[in-house]
Amino acid sequence: MSSIGIPGLILILVIALVIFGPSKLPELGRAVGRTLKEFKTATKELTSDFEYESDDRKPQTQSQAQAANK
User: What number of residues does the chain have?
Assistant: 70
CA distances in angstroms from 17 to 11, 20, 21, 22, 35, listed in the order given? 10, 6, 5, 6, 20
Condensed to tens digits (0 to 9), the pLDDT of residues 3-62 reads: 889 999 899 989 988 998 888 888 988 999 999 999 999 999 988 877 777 666 655 566
Which structural domain range is residue 38 located in? Answer: 21-56
33 in any annotated domain? yes
- Confidence at residue 66, expressed as pLDDT on a 0 to 100 scale: 61
15 in any annotated domain? no
Total domains in the fold of the chain = 1
68 in any annotated domain? no
14 in any annotated domain? no
> Are the beta carbons of 49 and 58 closer than 8 angstroms?
no
70 pLDDT band, cuts 50/70/90, is low
* Pairwise pLDDT comparison (66 vs 38), residue with the higher score: 38
69 in any annotated domain? no
